[in-house]
Amino acid sequence: MANIVYTECRGGQRFWMLFVGLLVLVAIGGLSALYMEHNGHIVTGMSNEIVWGMPHVFAVFLIVIASGVLNIASLGSVFGEMHYKPKARLSGVLAITFLVGGLAILVLDLGRPDRLTVAMTNYNFRSIFAWNVILYSGFIGVVLAYLVVQMTRRWAKFTPHVGLAAFLWRLTLTTGTGSIFGFLMARSPYGSAVLAPLFIAMSLAYGLAVFILIRLALESSASQGLGDELLQRLMRLLVIFVGSVLYFSGVFHFTSIYTAWRVDWEAYLLLDGGLYTLLFWGLYVILGTLVPMVMLYGRSGISRTREIVSSVLVLVGGFAHIYIIIVGGQAYPLQLFPGYEVASSFNDGIVARYVPTLPEIGLGLGGTALALVLAMMAMRLFRLLPKGEGESYADAA
């Protein structure tokens, strides 16, 4: 373990084909943003009721992944699990690129993206959003520093300290992301402090799933062995993380059920919410949580197909989960007059409709592709991947 030799990703035909494919997606995302900017949000499915739609689901998903994917590095330098150390560089780079991808979507969805300088020069410190601007940009800075101390001999001794700072920063960042919804007291589907730990659990699970998938992809394309025993550890971790998402989600919904003015929303979501109920039980609980847990729990052997399928299921379930939290939460009508049946010209008392349009999905996919393109560029340019990692791990073990 003493000397890990790192190398760039060598590329190759499949690498470049994927790269070009992703660039096309990035271009589609850019064009979608221009189209939305030029015509206004009327060309999206978003409205005065569903004010945050598909772009925000993608953005929150990517931001949550960004903070979670850094945990592989933290396991090495904060928790002393040296087996994970060779993965730390890639983990840090992915954390930055996924955050950049998510932020790009958020910014391009603004009504006035041209006023970004206004957002950077006027801070309202009572706003968790303003804090998030600082947390996000600070995260990029801290993780960059983390990468630098890892990659230079001279400052290598600072790695544990900077690693700890990065770990604490990422916990704060995900707390901030969860609080965006946690601080909305007026809406029954939000306004709970449990959202902050729920988002942290989500980041651990979805970040790990993404990391596993990317490592497996690299393994097949550039013969970068992940090491079977390490892979097994990661899969066991995934089971724990996915389970903890379910736990916090359960706590969240049970507290709501016991809150008189929130129980209507819970009944709607869990029983008769149509698409949202289907997404919750079908995609999130069954396919995205129970199936992968059953697939992975207590297995000792390694099967690449099983790891890939279960990680993909976790991500699909996670996307559905965030969709329910963001879109479902807004679709449910605000209760202004409890006990009354209400009607108005602005759909009071009616569940809001939302059908995402192509530009929204294009923008979301573009941001996701941007995260991957940047990661691929970094892998090609910098020495991030350990050479013959499988063996070095076997030696250490």
Partner 1 sequence: MTDRSQSCGGSCGCKPEAETVDESRRGFLAGAAMAGASVIAPGVTLFAYGAGEAQAAGADPKKRWGMLIDVSKCVDGCTGCVTACQTENGWKTTGRPATDPQWIRKVTLRDPKTGATKSAPIMCQHCAEPPCADVCPTGASFKRADGIVLVDRHRCIGCRYCMMACPYKARSFVHEALEDQKPHAPRGMGTVEGCTLCVHRVDKGVAPACVEACAKSGGAIMFGDIADPNSEISKVIATYATMQIRGDLGVDPGVRYRNL
- Site residues, partner 1 (CB under 8 A): 37, 39-42, 47-52, 110-113, 115-116, 118-119, 122-124, 126-130, 132-133, 180, 183-187, 330, 334, 336-337, 339-348, 352-353
Nearer to partner 1, 47 or 244 (CB): 47
State how far the Cα of 29 lies from the Cα of 370, in Å rounded to an integer.
9
Hey, what are 207's tokens?
A: 């970040």
Nearer to partner 1, 301 or 341 (CB): 341
How far is Cα of residue 30 from the mean position of the Cα atoms in its chain?
21
Hey, what are 35's tokens?
A: 């189209």
Whether 394 and 227 have beta carbons less than 8 Å apart is answered as: yes
Report in angstroms how near the CB of residue 164 gets to partner 1 at its nearest. Answer: 29
Burial class (CB in 10 A: 0-12, 13-18, 19+), 74: buried
Nearer to partner 1, 298 or 346 (CB): 346
Hey, what are 264's tokens?
A: 């209507």
Q: At residue 385, what are phi and psi to the nearest 5 degrees?
A: -105, 130
Nearer to partner 1, 113 or 388 (CB): 113
Nearer to partner 1, 275 or 286 (CB): 275
Sequence length of the chain is 397
Report in angstroms how near the CB of residue 61 gets to partner 1 at its nearest. Answer: 18
Report in angstroms how near the CB of residue 104 gets to partner 1 at its nearest. Answer: 15
Nearer to partner 1, 108 or 376 (CB): 108
Report in angstroms how near the CB of residue 181 gets to partner 1 at its nearest. Answer: 8
Report in angstroms how near the CB of residue 33 gets to partner 1 at its nearest. Answer: 13
- Which positions ≥6 away from 336 have C-beta within 8 Å? 342, 348
DSSP class of 166:
H
Give 300's Cβ-side CA count (13 Å radius).
Answer: 0
